[in-house]
């Protein structure tokens, strides 16, 4: 499978597919995009194509067969996902096809929408297959609903939309290559040194660095995916809404990976009763959703702990102090910037002992940290990564990105984006490159 940051994708696959897409007659463009998506998956992972095609046919036939078969299809999709995730818990060498969760989630949402009568138009195999296999989305989302894509309707060449799509694509590429991949080196260094050896200031810097790395890695991917979709005539699909501008953990996850959050809300949380059935039922529903979220993110116990901690925090906000955070936004922002990076440490570090070591470094007054080997390490790493983090923190301010987005057609901004694109290409060509972090989920 090709990565969006791969030079073969940027200079061969994508331009070639776009050229063919807009050269063929309007009624054949969906076919070209469907075939191109299958080729995209087939490069390096043909097993994924076979599994995807089988599930596509099964889901299409079940959707055409009535409500009973749609429910059966949902159970099949859940069983396939559970089987692969279960193998991950049993064996570290278990094979997990890239993008499995995302195309199964699209299939589940499709079947449930069919049973609810929310898809009124005639379902055809071409539309359904394209929806399931659309290559910019399947690897790591966003989880677009069937009704969002106007599948089957010819997409005409729109120069302004293509220009906007290229802008978003370059923004995402720059965030990934120039920010996330560079910050990843800091976290790798800390792992090599050993958490027990670093100073408290460096532990806090590392935690912030990892938080920004994950943020720009996934925001970068989401912008690239949305931008690529726009190149093919689809509307922009928002998957991030400035999460670090949130005032609570629950607000953060309404803004982070928005389509995934909406999936869990619409197809798990609300059908279970949501928050309409009293406090006890609300707590149970939230616990189930965040347990599933933890399992979805990975097979390690630390993912379950991470999901559990977030579930507890969100329950506490709903039942206790959430209104206070909303009424005092400054307090809410400080709370988010303190709590969210801490929870990412549970996400990033497998193993109880390693987590305790890192927490001991962050909070040495607890007496569990011991003595750092190099108390001056913050000066070295601060000088290396300080500027990157400053740029990252500035981009986390909602007004900053909105200002750039609003002026993306300005000639100076276009020139800036062109420079960032070639810088990203240069960095990619001269480094091994890192896969997007959410590819593992």
Q: How confident is the model at residue 368 (pLDDT cuts 50, 70, 90)?
A: low
Residue 301 has pLDDT above 50, yes or no: yes
Residues 363 and 256 in one domain: yes
Residue 211 has pLDDT above 90, yes or no: yes
User: Is residue 1 included in any domain, yes or no?
Assistant: no
User: Is residue 357 included in any domain, yes or no?
Assistant: yes
Q: For the beta carbon of residue 409, count every other beta carbon within 10 angstroms.
A: 11
Q: Which of 140, 157, 174 is the last residue of a domain?
A: 157
3-state secondary structure 155-220: CCCCHHHHHHHHHHHHHHHHHHHHHHHHHHHHHHHHHHHCHHHCCHHHHHHHHHHHHHHHHHHHHH
Residues 294 and 243 in one domain: yes
User: Is residue 342 included in any domain, yes or no?
Assistant: yes
Residues 272 and 183 in one domain: yes
- Average pLDDT of span 355-382: 78
Residues 209 and 331 in one domain: yes
Residues 131 and 274 in one domain: no
Residue 439 has pLDDT above 50, yes or no: no
Residue 334 has pLDDT above 90, yes or no: yes
User: Is residue 303 included in any domain, yes or no?
Assistant: yes
- The total number of structural domains in the chain stands at 2
pLDDT reported for residue 88: 63
User: Is residue 353 included in any domain, yes or no?
Assistant: yes
User: With contact defined as beta carbons under 8 Å apart, do 173 and 5 qualify?
Assistant: yes
Residue 440 has pLDDT above 70, yes or no: no
How large is the C-alpha radius of gyration of the chain?
22
User: Is residue 199 included in any domain, yes or no?
Assistant: yes
Residue-wise pLDDT tens digits, 222-257: 999 999 999 999 988 889 999 999 999 999 999 998
Q: Where are the alpha helices (DSSP H) in 317-351?
A: 322-327, 329-348
pLDDT reported for residue 13: 94
Give 35: exposed, middle or buried? Use CB within 10 Å, 0-12, 13-18, 19+. middle
Residue 94 has pLDDT above 60, yes or no: no
Q: Which of 141, 157, 173 is the last residue of a domain?
A: 157
Residues 136 and 153 in one domain: yes
Residues 45 and 172 in one domain: no
Residues 105 and 29 in one domain: yes
The domain containing residue 270 runs over which residues?
161-440
Return the closest-CA partner of residue 397 out of 215, 168, 248, 127: 215
pLDDT reported for residue 152: 63
**Token pair listed for 43:** 């490069």
3-state secondary structure of 145: coil
User: Is residue 2 included in any domain, yes or no?
Assistant: no
Q: How confident is the model at residue 86 (pLDDT cuts 50, 70, 90)?
A: confident
- Average pLDDT of span 169-176: 96
pLDDT reported for residue 113: 92
- Average pLDDT of span 383-411: 93
Note if the bond before 142 is cis, omega within 30 degrees: yes
Residues 170 and 307 in one domain: yes
Q: Which of 137, 157, 177 is the last residue of a domain?
A: 157
Residue-wise pLDDT tens digits, 111-150: 999 999 888 778 889 989 999 988 888 777 788 888 887 7
User: Is residue 61 included in any domain, yes or no?
Assistant: yes
Residues 21 and 170 in one domain: no
Between CA 412 and CA 287 the distance in angstroms is 49
Percent of the chain's residues with pLDDT above 90: 52
Residue 410 has pLDDT above 50, yes or no: yes
Residues 183 and 269 in one domain: yes
Q: How confident is the model at residue 441 (pLDDT cuts 50, 70, 90)?
A: very low
Residue 2 has pLDDT above 80, yes or no: no
Residue 379 has pLDDT above 80, yes or no: yes
- Average pLDDT of span 65-94: 80
User: With contact defined as beta carbons under 8 Å apart, do 80 and 139 qualify?
Assistant: no
- Its sign, for the CA torsion 326, 222, 116, 147, is positive
Residues 165 and 127 in one domain: no
């Amino acid at each position: 499978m090709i990565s969006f940051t791969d030079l073969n994708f940027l200079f061969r696959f994508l331009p070639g597919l776009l050229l063919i897409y807009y050269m063929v007659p309007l009624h054949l463009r969906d076919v070209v995009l469907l075939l191109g998506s299958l080729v995209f998956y087939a490069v390096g992972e043909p097993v994924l194509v076979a599994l995807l095609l089988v599930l596509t046919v099964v889901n299409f036939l079940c959707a055409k067969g009535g409500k009973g078969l749609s429910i059966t299809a949902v159970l099949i999709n859940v069983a396939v996902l559970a089987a692969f995730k279960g193998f991950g818990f049993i064996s570290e060498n278990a094979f997990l096809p890239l993008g499995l969760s995302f195309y199964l989630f699209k299939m589940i949402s499709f079947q449930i929408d069919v049973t609810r009568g929310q898809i009124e138009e005639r379902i055809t195999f071409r539309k359904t297959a394209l929806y399931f296999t659309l290559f910019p989305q399947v690897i790591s989302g966003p989880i677009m609903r069937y009704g969002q894509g106007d599948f089957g309707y010819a997409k005409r060449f729109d120069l302004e939309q293509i220009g906007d799509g290229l802008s978003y694509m370059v923004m995402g590429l720059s965030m990934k290559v120039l920010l996330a991949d560079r910050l990843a080196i800091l976290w790798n260094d800390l792992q090599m040194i050993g958490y027990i050896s670093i100073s408290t200031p460096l532990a806090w810097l590392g935690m912030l660095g990892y938080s920004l790395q994950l943020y720009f890695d996934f925001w970068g991917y989401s912008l690239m995916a949305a931008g690529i979709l726009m190149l093919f005539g689809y509307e922009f699909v928002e998957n991030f809404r400035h999460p670090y501008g949130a005032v609570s953990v629950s607000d953060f996850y309404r803004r982070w990976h928005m389509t995934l959050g909406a999936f869990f809300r619409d197809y798990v949380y609300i059908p279970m009763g949501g928050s309409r059935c009293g406090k006890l039922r609300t707590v149970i529903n939230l616990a189930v959703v965040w347990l599933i979220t933890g399992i979805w993110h990975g097979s390690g116990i630390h993912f379950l702990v991470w999901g559990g901690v977030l579930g507890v925090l969100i329950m506490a906000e709903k039942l206790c102090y959430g209104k206070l955070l909303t009424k005092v936004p400054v307090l809410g922002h400080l709370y988010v910037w303190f709590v969210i990076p801490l929870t990412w440490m549970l996400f990033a570090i497998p193993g109880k002992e390693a987590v305790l070591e890192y927490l001991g470094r962050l909070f040495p007054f607890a007496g569990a940290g011991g003595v750092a080997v190099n108390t001056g390490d913050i000066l070295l790493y601060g000088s290396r990564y300080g500027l990157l983090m400053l740029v990252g923190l500035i981009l986390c301010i909602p007004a900053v990105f909105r200002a750039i987005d609003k002026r993306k057609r300005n000639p100076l901004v276009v020139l800036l984006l062109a420079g960032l694109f070639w810088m990203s290409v240069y960095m990619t060509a001269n480094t091994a490159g890192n896969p997007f972090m959410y590819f593992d989920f």
